[in-house]
Chain A
Amino acid sequence: MNGRRQIDRLSNPWLHTCILSPIKKTKVGRMMQLLYHRPICINSHGCNKNRNSAFFMSAFLSEQEYTDPVSCRLVFFTEGETKMMKHGVVVFATLCTVLSTVTAKEPSAVLELSSSPEPAGRIDQLVFKRLEKMKIQPVLCSDEVFIRRVYLDVIGKLPTAKEALRFLDKPESPTKRSELIDELLERDEFADYWAMKWGDVLRIKAEFPINLWPNAAQAYHHWVRKSIADNKPYDRFVREMLTASGSNFRIGPVNYYRAMQNKTPKGIAATTALTFMGARAESWPTNQLDNMALFFSQVGYKPTSEWKEESVFWDPLGTAADKANSAPGKDVITTSTTGAVAQVSATSGGPVATAFPDGKNILLSPDRDPREVFADWLIAPENPWFSRCIVNRVWAWLLGRGIIHEPDDIRKDNPPSNPELLAWLEKEFSGHQYDLKYLYRLILNSKTYQLSSVSSSGNPDAAAQFASYPLRRLEAEVLIDAINDITGSFDLYTSAIPEPFTYIPKGQSAVSIADGSITSPFLALFGRSARATGMLDERDNNTTPPQRLHMLNSGHIQKKLENGPKIKELTSEKLSPDKIVENLYLTILSRRPTEEEKKTVLAYGNSGTPKKPLPVIKSGITEKQKQAIQQQRKTADQERQNNWIDIVWALINSPEFLYRH
């Protein structure tokens, strides 16, 4: 922790820690260690004491100069002053002992545990082994951090204040965290949240450029969400999509074949490679994609008599080859020299030879849908892409980075950062019937997942070896849902298409919206996926200046703070200021405030001072006086409320709220 904090000297309450940290290594420093928390405790009492304590420290170290934290000016001491202060230090030390009942936690103490973690399973063994080689000591996150992290990662929601307290106040036990994980995996919001993530990958969107149409997008999403809620084995989930036939309105998974801009055999092959093999076919040799395209050369699309209904079917005879019937698209690989993909059709006679992406040859028989042949090859346990792609994706979703990175760029010259770990996860997953919840449990219960986000070693390879949990801004949907939950308000989501399926009931969470075309300015601004390609980087969680403007200063957010019924409830006059601060911290940051934070917050605009007695309306005063008193009361109420609004505003604008950490 030493020396890695660069701070704003004017406002940082831990200033002294920072100044004095380097001296901890000296003999004198170690003696001082016992002392050096104390000045922090009292520094909010005023700058004089603040400055005095620093004087003592400087003197103790026989320094002749000192940067005043208040004015930021260098202060030089005369020899006489130094001498005098050396005496003072003894007095001060005594004073500190008296004051030692007051404790202040360092920021990292709120976020991290001090004991070093023991490996909890194979994942940790494989990860810690590498960290040890890099001389990185892993640090576990605190319960306060864990509950917030695991809620956000598993169900895309913040814990309520009540849920946070229930967990935090539960006695320590080896199963404390795993019980919470089990509970969250069974929540309805788990299916909502992971259907949203899959919605990006599977491109669930009614309008441009995917053009599924609203009720088809709903049918697709419904099927995906239900599959997740039922914990359908992953191999079945994929096979059902790849082999689906029928109406886009009635059979959800057929929309897999409709949710792509390029519906030529090559386009479908490239999309399938990206979606289920995590591979970018653009980097493959041309013949590899050509061969794979043959498996998708008999996909037919035809309209029905219902408006915008379309059937996807196995079309060996090429009846849908008529341009008017087939969906538009042009070859994605413009560099291809082989031209159009040969049509495998019954009219061409016997079986057609092609090869799987791993090079294995196969004769496609005319009496079997080649999509089935491909699906069976793909989901076989020995397939080199299938399990690898999904375990790596889930890992990246939970830990912010793939073992192969990017997770949808699997190729020979992009090796995994920890091959043993990836291989082990693949084997565990296929060995457990492709059970996704088993995989989540495996990862979430590992100490690796539960590492602190604060500790960083400075080693450039640390991130790729998962030495700490990486900070990531909340996704657009999760962020606005959290703000709405905290304030008790709603957002309006609309789609450009006037269809019944695009009507969103008031209060529905953004995470649970089925269709990428149903949106709001906030979702667009905060980088929600465009769902055009299915690539993971379509969702952008970087912070841009307009996003900061919106959070800091928009009418949209300010109105929620001013009018949100939950804020009024949380900051009710009937509650003591102390209680209000505690509630706000639990609701917004899922933890209790530190003493230091309480003081800072209560000092803001006198939030902590009880209401001054205001003149009361007595009988016999003039109407004018009465109005003046009423106005005075109104202004005072408004001021009080504004102070609390500003405090909520500061908390929802802090990185601790805006980021997973």
Chain B
Amino acid sequence: MNTMMNITRRNALKYGLCGAGSVLLARKLQAALPVSSLPVKAKSVIQIFLWGGMSHNDTWDPKPDSGRAYMGEFSKAIPTNVNGIQIGQLFPELARQADKYSLIRSMTHGINGHETAAYYMQTGHSSNERITYPSIGAVFSYFKNPGYKGLVPPYVVLTQPQGRFSEEGFLGPKYKPFATGGDPNAARFEVEGVVAKGISDDRQAARRDLLRKTDLLGQAMDSAVLKDARIAEDQAYELILGPGKEVFNLSNEDDKLRDRYGRNTFGQECLAARRMVETGVPYVVINYPGGWDTHKEHFPRMRKQCPDLDKGLAALLEDLAARGLLESTLVWCCGEFGRGPKVDWQPPWNGGRNHYGAVFSVLVAGGGFRGGAVVGSSDEKAEAVLERPVYPVDLLGSIYRLGGIDPASLLPHPLGLEARVLPEISDTIKSGGLLTEIM
């Protein structure tokens, strides 16, 4: 790798390029040549985001001894296929796959607002700056884009974007996730823009021909002016008329396997994610359909949603492992925070759980993460970190490293200042260290 490619601001100063110019130079070089210098263990990442915040003590950090005030309706924990690890009673399938993943039970940031917590968990940056940082998926897309030649965009969201902060941040729309829309559990997965309802390939081709013939301005213009738009259009047509869209055709999969993932939207999203990873898509996000913001009716909703999550996620891990893809595919699953370990029994909640950022759980697997381990722990009521706190920069930093991206690399800051992939540790940005114990 060329040494010029690794110029950081510090190096630039060392080489005698002083003052504001050096920052700009470093920025320009970085912007022109996004390179990651670390070895790549995770070629692809699947992020399962449990938007709204999933309860931790009902799921992956059960505290059976904390009583009904805390455990509510789910008093049991069940053993897993790894000695000494127990998880919540609603996750029998995941219990059989515990050797494939590790659980972080000491995730913490202390933020209880959805947007701020979601931003922090997916960027690692404080929200009090003047700029909006890109989410980890956009950063992956930024660093992987130059080498990525796949037909499907490098950063895909199944099926809807979160909509509460711009995932691409200051990197701009080029790094926006491609949201599929549609429902992979439907008879035909109608991916917005790729698979159109009732338009045959012949009609598509005829239309395209007409489009060319009626393009008066394009024919009059200097071809260089519309070059980018033409490239964008050609790429779009590779998906519309080419083989690229086959990745979304889930009917190519064995019916039994589809059943194993669960015949529901989330389950089939997991299957679609696996198909994309197989073709080399670097970053896939599944935004859990419906969400986990269970202030009210918490327990009925958990009874409904957890089995889908259990089945889909367990099948995904098993299937990835069976195909030899788990080694190169990193899977992480969590919400922006956990939920109040103490149940709100009083009205109007009547058995709900509130936002809770002081401690919660994250599941990580594959792509260089070891399975069958537990990182950190919470106290006996799952209210606070007992040992080994894990902060967003630790989790994200570990994922970046396994993906071959140095968290100290620079991004093109819109104001020409230094913008690191992850911030340096400070009073506002705390760290408990990278997850080296499972890497």
Contacts and interface: CB of A to CB of B under 8 A. Distances in A.
Interface of A: 4-8, 11-14, 106-108, 110-111, 207-209, 260-262, 267, 270-271, 280, 282-283, 328-330, 332, 453-454, 456, 458, 471, 473, 496, 519, 521, 524-527, 530, 532-533, 535, 537-538, 540, 542-550, 552-556, 558, 594, 597, 600-601, 604-605, 642, 646-647, 649-651, 653-656, 658-659, 661
A655 B173 contact: no
B99 interface: no
Given A208-B115, A546-B153, A655-B229, A554 B221 contact: no
Contacts of A107: 216-217, 219-220
A521 B229 contact: no
Given A530-B166, A545-B232, A554 B219 contact: no
Contacts of A496: 163-164
Given A208-B164, A542-B174, A330 B210 contact: no
B221 A655 contact: yes
Interface string B203-215: 1101101111111
B164 A525 contact: no
Interface stretch (B194-202, B257-265, B303-311, B392-400): B194-202
A650 B210 contact: yes
A11 B54 CA distance: 56
A546 B196 contact: no
Contacts of A547: 173, 232
Contacts of A525: 173, 176
A646 B206 contact: yes
A605 B161 CA distance: 38
A554 B216 contact: no
A532 B165 CA distance: 10
Contacts of B240: 549, 552-553
Contacts of A597: 214, 216
B126 interface: yes
Nearest to B228: A543
Given A107-B219, A646-B210, A653-B211, A548 B235 contact: yes
Nearest to B197: A555
Contact of A549 (B194, B207, B213, B219): B194
Please give me the 9 A-B residue pairs with the lowest Cβ-Cβ distance, nearest first: A549-B193, A208-B115, A656-B217, A548-B236, A107-B220, A545-B235, A6-B223, A543-B229, A549-B236
Contacts, number: 216
Given A280-B415, A542-B174, A650 B196 contact: no
A25 B116 CA distance: 66
A512 B218 CA distance: 31
B239 interface: yes
Contacts of A332: 129-130
Contacts of B165: 208-209
Contacts of B219: 5, 7, 12, 14, 107
B414 interface: yes
B153 A545 contact: yes
A654 B206 contact: no
A11 B209 contact: yes
B190 interface: yes
B78 interface: no
A523 to B, nearest CB: 11
B178 interface: yes
A260 B239 CA distance: 41
A441 B217 CA distance: 27
B164 A280 contact: no
Nearest to B132: A532
A5 B164 contact: no
A571 to B, nearest CB: 15
Contacts of A524: 161, 163, 166, 176
A597 B172 CA distance: 37
B81 interface: no
B3 interface: no
B214 A554 contact: no
Which of A260, A262, A496, A543 counts the most B-chain CB atoms under 10 A from its CB? Answer: A543
A550 B193 contact: yes
B224 to A, nearest CB: 9
Nearest to A530: B166
B233 interface: yes
Given A282-B417, A552-B236, A650-B210, 16 more contacts: A7-B219, A11-B209, A209-B119, A262-B130, A329-B128, A471-B221, A471-B225, A524-B176, A525-B173, A532-B131, A533-B132, A537-B172, A544-B173, A555-B196, A646-B207, A655-B226
A110 B235 contact: no
B428 A330 contact: yes
Nearest to A547: B232
Contacts of A473: 229
Contacts of B174: 542, 544
Nearest to B174: A544
B225 to A, nearest CB: 6
B223 A5 contact: yes
A660 to B, nearest CB: 11
17 contacts: A7-B223, A8-B212, A280-B416, A282-B417, A328-B128, A454-B221, A471-B221, A546-B176, A548-B235, A552-B233, A553-B194, A555-B196, A558-B196, A597-B214, A656-B215, A656-B218, A661-B217
Given A6-B223, A553-B240, A555-B190, A521 B164 contact: no
B127 interface: yes
Interface string B321-356: 000000000000000000000000000000000000
B220 A454 contact: yes
A558 B217 CA distance: 23
Given A530-B166, A548-B236, A550-B192, A471 B226 contact: yes
Contacts of B166: 524, 530, 532
A209 B127 contact: yes
A274 to B, nearest CB: 9
B119 A208 contact: yes
A655 B222 contact: no
B411 interface: no
A548 B210 contact: no
Contacts of B128: 261-262, 328-330
B4 interface: no
A207 B163 contact: no
B179 interface: yes
Contacts of B223: 5-7
A270 B416 CA distance: 14
A182 to B, nearest CB: 28
Nearest to B415: A282
A271 B204 CA distance: 49
Given A11-B212, A262-B128, A456-B222, A283 B416 contact: yes
Contacts of A471: 221, 225-226
Contacts of B212: 8, 11
Contacts of A538: 414
Interface in B236-272: 236-237, 239-240
A554 B192 contact: yes
B216 A537 contact: no
Nearest to A211: B115
Contact of B173 (A453, A527, A654): A527
Contacts of B199: 553, 558
Contacts of B211: 649-650, 653-654
B17 to A, nearest CB: 16
A281 to B, nearest CB: 9
B54 to A, nearest CB: 19
B209 to A, nearest CB: 7
B20 interface: yes
Contacts of A260: 130
A108 B216 CA distance: 8
A552 B212 CA distance: 13
B20 A283 contact: yes
B53 to A, nearest CB: 15
Contacts of A328: 128
B50 to A, nearest CB: 17
Contact of A554 (B116, B160, B176, B196): B196
